[in-house]
Amino acid sequence: MQASKQRSVLAHEGGYKAMSITAIVVVLSVVLLAMDMRWIYLLVYVWFGVIYGVLLQYGRFCMASAIRDLFAIKVPRMAVGVMIATALFSITAGLVTATGYSTFHPHPLGWHIIAGGLIFGFGMIFTGGCASGSLYKSGEGNVASMLVLLSISFSQALFVDLGSWSNSFTPSSWVASAAEKGMPESLSVNDGWFDSFTAGYIWDLSGGTVAQSLDTGNNWLDVFIGNSLLGAILPTIAVLVVLYFATYRKGYLRRNKLESPTFGDEMRGGWAMMTASKNTALAGLGLGVFAGLQMWATGALREHYNIFNFGELLQKMGYTEGLSVQQTVFDPGYWYITTQEAQLGGWVLDKAGVDVMDNIFFGLMNGIPNPLINAPLLMSVGIIAGAAILALTRHEFKWKVPNMETAVFAIVGGALMGIGARLGMGCNVGAFFAAVTNGDMTGWIFLAGMLGGGLLGVKAFTMWIDWRTSADDDFDI
């Protein structure tokens, strides 16, 4: 019985393709390990990416859907899923932090976070997917989402590499502060707006986690009470209560013919909302568990190889091209999306003859490694592969070539997402999901910005659709 059920899942064209993709990833992994066991560090990123891709596609996990469906069609399903994932990830992240394997760095607090969230949130309404959503949708054969990824990559690379013309927009206080940092000449810290922004503004700010500010002397208490409970779980419950009353309650009471609901009815309603899409909630649970495991696995490997950053390992293995002046590469050790896409854009620009290593973002911090050995970028490739594997298996894969309208939205929206991500220092994953679950409250500020931008985006988008349907005879009956 079990065997025949399994045959029906995989014995079709999509199933064979899914198995082929899996086989390719396995074979490449084995070959890499046979060449040098140290590639395990990179493969951890790849395989966690594949798992994230499967989970994202399974739960259709997308922050753009979460915010947009909430405002545009009053459907809280995805927002609820994201909140459940947040609460669960905060627990696994807490375990990793308390045992000392955390790779997380809190973000500095400042106006840039809300500004970045606003621009990112506005853009993602038009692209139809957030940074992680665009990755899994690419795996479903959605060419528009692939355009979004390219647009995010190049807009970020160009934004961090703004030329001398942008200097006139730089406040003199940033210039003065940046000049005092004693950066190497080669980085020309006050040439380009983003460099002065980083060295003269961001570096003067500070950030921290709730656990660090509690500081009771008991590490486990700090982490679980501070980061997990106060920083993530209680805010999550508050958001869920608001979502229930604002969007779900009315329909629930009507469907169940409850005119004067008791407290028990309300609780059952809340539970019904949380379980309305089991897939999203289950994906959230899985993402929480694996995102924690990834931090643990990377932290353990760093300890094993006695390194702080993948750049050191690459150097030992003989790869020095594209490393930053500190001999590092971008290596967050947890789920992250946009920075490695910026590196892809930067690498291509570099090959095209543009000097991008004279800026802080690439030259000092992240480097521009060859995409084939860029571990976080391969995590993104893994996400696309994982999503494709599940979409093919579930008969949901289809090549979808965008029309002009969708393509323009993808490119313009993607560019806004790229700029927003660099200003806010991350996307819906790096600046929100991975932040709030590690006790970094700047993530909630980024979410507030994203909500504001999302609301404006939905208003603009609705106006666009109204105009289209009034101008377009096809929509009249």
Partner 1 sequence: MAIKFDKISDGQYQLDVCGYVCPHPQMYTKKALQKLASGDELTLLFDNPSSGESILSMCESEGNEVFNREDGEGSFTWKIRKS
Residues lying near partner 1 in the complex (CB under 8 A):
14, 60, 62, 64-65, 68-69, 72-75, 77-78, 125, 128-129, 133, 137, 140-142, 144-145, 247-248, 251, 254-255, 276-277, 279-280, 391, 395-398, 400-403, 406, 461-462, 465, 469, 472, 474-477
Closest contact distance (angstroms) between CB of 73 and partner 1 is 5
Contacts of 273 (CB under 8 A, 6+ apart): 76, 80, 240, 243, 244, 248, 252
Cα(221)–Cα(230) distance, integer angstroms: 11
* 97 closest CA partner among 235, 289, 296, 236: 296
User: Which residue number, 316 or 468, has a Cβ lying nearer to partner 1?
Assistant: 468
Cα 365 to Cα 40, 141, 171, distances in angstroms? 23, 33, 23
Cα(153)–Cα(151) distance, integer angstroms: 5
User: Which residue number, 255 or 351, has a Cβ lying nearer to partner 1?
Assistant: 255
Cα(364)–Cα(372) distance, integer angstroms: 21
Cα(231)–Cα(233) distance, integer angstroms: 7
**For the chain, how big is the Rg over CA atoms in Å?**
23
Closest contact distance (angstroms) between CB of 472 and partner 1 is 7
User: Which residue number, 16 or 475, has a Cβ lying nearer to partner 1?
Assistant: 475
Long-range interactions of 225-228: CB distance < 8 A, separation 24+: 226/439, 227/90, 227/93, 227/94, 227/97, 227/437, 227/438, 227/439, 228/90, 228/91, 228/93, 228/94, 228/439
CB 230, CB 210: distance < 8 Å: yes
Cα(467)–Cα(178) distance, integer angstroms: 47
* 29 closest CA partner among 380, 378, 389, 388: 378
User: Which residue number, 74 or 316, has a Cβ lying nearer to partner 1?
Assistant: 74
User: Which residue number, 1 or 477, has a Cβ lying nearer to partner 1?
Assistant: 477
User: Which residue number, 78 or 441, has a Cβ lying nearer to partner 1?
Assistant: 78
User: Which residue number, 27 or 246, has a Cβ lying nearer to partner 1?
Assistant: 246
Closest contact distance (angstroms) between CB of 134 and partner 1 is 10
Closest contact distance (angstroms) between CB of 153 and partner 1 is 19
User: Which residue number, 64 or 435, has a Cβ lying nearer to partner 1?
Assistant: 64
Closest contact distance (angstroms) between CB of 248 and partner 1 is 7
Closest contact distance (angstroms) between CB of 233 and partner 1 is 25
User: Which residue number, 14 or 453, has a Cβ lying nearer to partner 1?
Assistant: 14
Closest contact distance (angstroms) between CB of 143 and partner 1 is 10
Closest contact distance (angstroms) between CB of 420 and partner 1 is 18
Closest contact distance (angstroms) between CB of 303 and partner 1 is 39
The dihedral formed by the CA atoms of 452, 456, 458 and 464, expressed in degrees to the nearest 10: -170
* Residue-level length of the chain: 477
